[in-house]
Amino acid sequence: MADIDFRKVGGRIGAEVVGLDVRDLDDALFAEVNAALLEHKALIFRGQHLDDAGQVEFAARFGPLTGAHPTVPSVEGQPQILEVNGDEGIRANNWHTDVTFVRTPPKASTLRGIIVPPYGGNTLIANSVTAYDDLPEPLREFADKAWAVHTNDYDYVQPQFETSAREEHRKVFTAKRYRTAHPVVRVHPETGERGLFIGGFAQTIVGLSNRESRAILDLLQHYVTRPENIFRVQWEPGDLVLFDNRATQHYAPDDYGDLPRHLRRVTIAGDVPVGIEGKESFILEGDEARHYTPA
């Protein structure tokens, strides 16, 4: 068995996997990596230099893959790969968990660094489980019972400048509208941990007004994005990052000017989120998105 090491990079989230070429991931090594993912929530594999096929093969070890995105086109000829390209000022500089506006959001995401700027362009990943643990008891009791409506019909991509490309992207992103109610506190299906399941797509709290919802969501979000909960990925070309979407949020700061930044994303299909009382998420608008994620 290869001599690999999982080196923590933060007190609450993140580990660097040292001594492993993910192309040589046998069953025993995979079990170690999967256990480390559940423990650390986010893993970085330096200098892997995978191609598209290699990224897809690695991601598929964790389960069936989703399509690239429910509404945004994939990389040509690669239906499971989403291009993450900030060249045109279309940048997702907003805390979010991937694709929570559908009923079955991804289990986990892989990101691969292709072209990265010499400064800035990091990815921040936050631990939503420790965020929940930090809640004071009265707020935790509220969150345990609350449900949030997640939708793709909001200004998810914050533009560097107002451009025609940005407007076109929004039209594509919202070409089909999804609204799904998820528990604010999700029970992790493998670890049983409780975590705040909110982020940018969560726009309202069921039963509250827009104004009341915004105040509550902003308050809860503050706990997610405390510095102690965050792992900052400083990219190098060829790096591969894996994170658990059931227990994290992430954010890509728009701090690299007009420099190129190209990543590619492949996501693993997930299950229906469940709250602490055992109730599953439910659709308010749209469909099961079966073109995007396996049933």
CA–CA separation, 277 vs 131, rounded Å? 20
pTM reported for the whole predicted model: 0.93
Structure tokens at 211: 């104004």
120-163 confidence digits (pLDDT tens): 999 999 999 999 999 999 999 999 999 999 999 876 555 555 66
Q: Is the dihedral of CA 50, 53, 59, 60 positive or negative?
A: negative
Give the HSE-up count for residue 75: Cα atoms under 13 Å, Cβ half-sphere: 16
Residue of 69, 91, 98, 112 marked active site: 98
Q: Write the DSSP string, the chain.
A: ----EEEE-SSSS-EEEES--GGG--HHHHHHHHHHHHHHSEEEETT----HHHHHHHHHTTSPBP-S-SSSPPBTTBTT-EEEE-TTSEE--S-B-TTTTSSS--SEEEEEEEE--SS---EEEEEHHHHHHHS-HHHHHHHHH-EEEEES-S--SEESS--HHHHHHHHHHTSS--EEEEESEEEPTTT--EEE--STTEEEETTS-HHHHHHHHHHHHHHHT-GGGEEEE---TT-EEEEETTSEEEE----STT---EEEEEEE-----B-TTSPBPEEEES---TTTS--
Given a contact cutoff of 8 angstroms between Cβ atoms, the answer to whether 150 and 281 are in contact is: no
Residue of 96, 150, 188, 194 marked active site: 96
Whether 98 is a known active-site residue: answer yes
Helices 210-224 and 137-145, interaxial angle, to 10°?
Answer: 120
Pairing mode of beta strands 15-18, 42-45: parallel
- Which pLDDT belongs to residue 115? 96
Domains and CATH numbers, the chain: 5-285 (3.60.130.10)
Looking up tokens 């290869």 gives 2
- Which pLDDT belongs to residue 253? 92
Given a contact cutoff of 8 angstroms between Cβ atoms, the answer to whether 118 and 270 are in contact is: no
- Which pLDDT belongs to residue 157? 53
Which residue(s) pair with 97 in the sheet? Answer: none
Non-local CB neighbours of 277 within 8 Å, separated by 6+ positions:
none
In this structure, the number of other CB atoms found within 10 A of the CB of residue 275 comes to 20
From its phi and psi, is residue 121 left (phi > 0), alpha (psi between -120 and 50) or beta?
A: left
Residue spans of the chain under pLDDT 50: 1
Residue of 69, 91, 250, 261 marked active site: 250
Whether 261 is a known active-site residue: answer no
- Which pLDDT belongs to residue 89? 54
Whether 96 is a known active-site residue: answer yes
Given a contact cutoff of 8 angstroms between Cβ atoms, the answer to whether 261 and 85 are in contact is: yes
Given a contact cutoff of 8 angstroms between Cβ atoms, the answer to whether 264 and 235 are in contact is: no
Buried b vs exposed e over 192-207: b needs ≥16 C-beta within 10 Å?
ebbbbbbbbbbbbbee
Pairing mode of beta strands 202-205, 108-115: unpaired
